[in-house]
Structure 1
Amino acid sequence: MFDERSPIYQQIADQIKADIVSGVLQEDEQVMSTNQYAAFYRINPATAAKGFQLLTEEGILYKKRGIGMFVSVDARQTLVQARKDRFFEEVVDRMVEEARQIGVPIADILNHIESRKEGKGQ
């Protein structure tokens, strides 16, 4: 499951976020404990705890004292909005800038997108 692209704790946080966005984890649902997570993936419990702490700081998970960690009520909505924002910044804004530099009218881009939406050109 883990690779060398980023720290394991970040990959843990990213996987939990993906599970929330995809609906595998629902709001107010309890997630595995750090010890369970560490045992399941055979990693150091401190590494798992660091990933969970990151999610807690971001408001994605919350802790019920003595019970465990749970998915925050607005976690999915927050994550989806962040992904949309990142998509527009990293993909759309860069595409528009590139189009501007090479002289592609925005109307041509919109027409191309519409043709893809309708299944043409695939």
Structure 2
Amino acid sequence: MIINSDGTKPIYVQIAEWLETEILNEHIKSDEKMYSQYQLAEMFNINPATAAKGLNILADGDILYKKRGLGMFVTPHARDVILSRRKNQILKLLVRDLVMEAERLKVSKEELIEMIRFEGKEGDGE
């Protein structure tokens, strides 16, 4: 992952999102030890305090838990929490924007649904 320091999204948010994606892709599994703020700082050449902020977002979101003296670990239900939140926040926003753009372009609901079905089939390799 490349951190975009010129973008509008804060670096600590990018770190948190990258870690979530690593959990979703099961590169980091439930109850596994998470990278430390110093490991993340070294990996991405950022300040350890910035990395800690990203980790704290995940701890506050019930994705990571702290073991005193040992570091942070992935909660057993982290994937479910991430999937649910992304579906209920990100996907809903994307769908809302898609529907609004379709209305501006005078695309009927039926046409839009057919486009979605077609894209779904394309993604399935059909």
Which has the higher mean CA deviation after the structures are superposed, 103-112 or 24-33? 103-112
2:68 equivalent in structure 1: 65
2:96 equivalent in structure 1: 93
The alignment's C-alpha RMSD in Å is 2.2
| TM norm structure 1 | 0.81
Shift of 1:45: 1.8
| TM norm structure 2 | 0.79
Shift of 1:76: 0.9
Please say if 1:11 is aligned against 2:14: yes
CA contact (8 A) 2:3 2:44 kept: no
Question: Post-superposition, which runs of at least 4 consecutive aligned residues in structure 1 deviate over 6 A?
Answer: none
Identify which of 43, 47, 51 aligns with 2:50.
Answer: 47
Q: Which runs of 5+ in 1 are unaligned?
A: none
1:22 equivalent in structure 2: 25
3-state secondary structure, aligned to 1:66:
coil
Q: Which runs of 5+ in 2 are unaligned?
A: none
| Counterpart Cα distance in 1 of 2:103 and 2:43 | 50
| Counterpart Cα distance in 2 of 1:9 and 1:83 | 18
3-state secondary structure, aligned to 2:72:
strand
Shift of 1:88: 3.5
1:118 equivalent in structure 2: 121
The amino acid across from 1:96 in the alignment is V
Q: Percent identity?
A: 36
Query: Which has the greater radius of gyration?
Result: 1
User: Relative to structure 1, is the Cα distance of residues 118 and 44 closer, same or farther in structure 2, using a 3 angstrom cutoff?
Assistant: closer
Shift of 1:87: 4.0
